[in-house]
Chains A and B, each alone.
Chain A
Amino acid sequence: MDEGLKSELQKQGVFTTSLEGLYNWGRQNSVWPLQFGLACCAIEMIATTMARYDLARFGAEVFRPSPRQADLMIVAGTVTKKMAPQVVRLYNQMAEPKYVIAMGACAISGGPFKQGYNVLKGIDRYIPVDVHIPGCPPRPEALLHAFMTLQQKIASQELTGPNRPRHLNADAPSEFPVPAFGEHDLVPAKNSELWQAPAVARS
């Protein structure tokens, strides 16, 4: 629809929208996070939900204690190799549409523990991450910004065509293999279909 006509109609008190716009508007304003935290980032996440920062303004105040009722997984904190299979399993148990925010240095890359023996080098090796937030820990404003970024991402999704979101595409996977505990490391060490090492400029 022509933007000028739309705005002209709005002045007359007539609101027009597309089904896609309405659908996405509803989805983006009722993203319910899964209630779990892994480390110190979880404290910032809790602060974000409290009155001072008030995540409820974005329709996301209802932290669900069950993955079946949650839309958003905030991976808040260090993902140890012992915890990684449980995180992937929780993600698999969430119903589509589902989103992931990797919060903090540890969740996106392993952070200060990257070269340790027990910390996963980023949760994006096993599950698809929509928004990464750096920081150690990120401030509540950063989480709000990540949340708004996710809302913009949802709002811009086309419901038909090749770029349609995963939950409307029967061929796209919604579950990802849960890594097993090996003798020396998790098996496999990463989901190669999901994550490839980004090219690093080397001299």
Chain B
Amino acid sequence: METLEEIKSRITHALPGARVEIIPNESPSGQRSLLVDREHAVRVATLLRDAPELALDYCSNVTGVDWPEATMKTKVKKTTVVDGVSKEVEEIIETLRSGCLEAVYHLYSMSKKHGPVILRLRTENRTDHNHLPSLTPVWRGCEFQEREIYDLYGIVFDGHPDLRRILMWDGFKDFPMRKDYVEPDDYDYEPTPHDDVLEKAKRHRAAEVKA
């Protein structure tokens, strides 16, 4: 299979203007992925499916990721000269990471027997600009999984044929897999609480005593 760099140059060649970025992965798997912009996502997906060398005709898995706003700390080594002696000093640089919601697509080729190629799409933010283009028109198998992401993360997939909640009921308002999900306080009976549950049970008990 082509390397990710080759796939990236293939995309930028065929679709000038498409912004494609290779996301590194420092974990032992080293499985890198392609971040594609929202405007070109459907065309990029069609290209990956239809290019005869790639033929990524099977989307095996779609999943969601919630990236809340966070301050990232990176350590940088700097050499400074103090009283004529050069010293190596570690400096911590804090950068603010803006939050977003992400959909991750794992693509394989059944005919070529290769894969996976991992596509990522990111929303602009986590609150009001939470739209992504649906890739269900490209891979039919995405339908239920995009519905699940809509249900649990609240990403709205434009162009999805039947975007409804799939696991929770229609009147449900929350998105349970988001990091800031507040669950209903039903910790009234916890016979063996520990860790997080212990804290929640204590909070429930305190609220009960007050009422």
CA distance A42 to B211 in the complex (A): 41
- In the bound complex, residues from chain B placing their C-beta under 8 Å from that of A181 are 169-172
- A118 within 8 Å of B by Cβ? yes
Q: How many residues of B contact A (CB 8 A)?
A: 20
User: Provided the pairs A82-B167, A82-B168, A118-B168 are in contact, do residues A184 and B186 lie with their beta carbons within 8 angstroms?
Assistant: no
Majority SS at the chain B contact face: loop
CB pair A183–B184 under 8 Å, yes or no, is no
> Could you tell me which residues of chain A, from 174 to 203, have a CB within 8 Å of some CB in chain B?
181-185, 189-190, 197-198, 200, 202
Nearest-CB residue, chain A, relative to B186: A189
CB pair A185–B176 under 8 Å, yes or no, is no
- In the bound complex, residues from chain A placing their C-beta under 8 Å from that of B162 are none
Contact mask for chain B residues 156-192; partner A; CB cutoff 8 A; 1 contact, 0 none: 0000000000011111111010000101101011110
Majority SS at the chain A contact face: loop
> Could you tell me which residues of chain A, from 66 to 98, have a CB within 8 Å of some CB in chain B?
81-82
CB pair B171–A183 under 8 Å, yes or no, is yes
Q: From B167, B186, B191, name the one whose CB has the most chain A CB atoms within 10 angstroms.
A: B186
CA distance A56 to B196 in the complex (A): 46
A182 → B minimal CB distance (Å) = 7
Contact mask for chain B residues 106-145; partner A; CB cutoff 8 A; 1 contact, 0 none: 0000000000000000000000000000000000000000
Q: From B167, B188, B196, name the one whose CB has the most chain A CB atoms within 10 angstroms.
A: B188
Q: From B189, B191, B196, name the one whose CB has the most chain A CB atoms within 10 angstroms.
A: B189
- The 8 Å CB contact of A184, one of B167, B174, B191, is B174
- In the bound complex, residues from chain B placing their C-beta under 8 Å from that of A183 are 171-174
CB pair A197–B169 under 8 Å, yes or no, is no
CA distance A126 to B176 in the complex (A): 24
- In the bound complex, residues from chain A placing their C-beta under 8 Å from that of B174 are 117, 183-184
CB pair B183–A117 under 8 Å, yes or no, is yes
User: Provided the pairs A184-B174, A197-B189 are in contact, do residues A189 and B169 lie with their beta carbons within 8 angstroms?
Assistant: no
- A115 within 8 Å of B by Cβ? yes
- B197 within 8 Å of A by Cβ? yes
- The 8 Å CB contact of A185, one of B170, B186, B196, B205, is B186
CB pair B188–A185 under 8 Å, yes or no, is no
CB pair B184–A185 under 8 Å, yes or no, is yes
- In the bound complex, residues from chain A placing their C-beta under 8 Å from that of B197 are 115
- In the bound complex, residues from chain A placing their C-beta under 8 Å from that of B205 are 202
CB pair A184–B184 under 8 Å, yes or no, is yes
- In the bound complex, residues from chain B placing their C-beta under 8 Å from that of A198 are 189, 191
CA distance A191 to B184 in the complex (A): 16
Which 7 A/B pairs are nearest by Cβ-Cβ distance? A185-B184, A117-B176, A197-B189, A181-B169, A183-B173, A197-B188, A181-B171
A-B contact pairs, 28 of them (CB 8 A): A82-B167, A82-B168, A82-B169, A115-B196, A115-B197, A118-B167, A118-B168, A118-B176, A121-B186, A121-B189, A181-B171, A181-B172, A182-B171, A183-B172, A183-B173, A183-B174, A184-B172, A184-B173, A184-B174, A184-B184, A185-B186, A189-B184, A190-B188, A197-B188, A197-B189, A198-B189, A198-B191, A200-B189
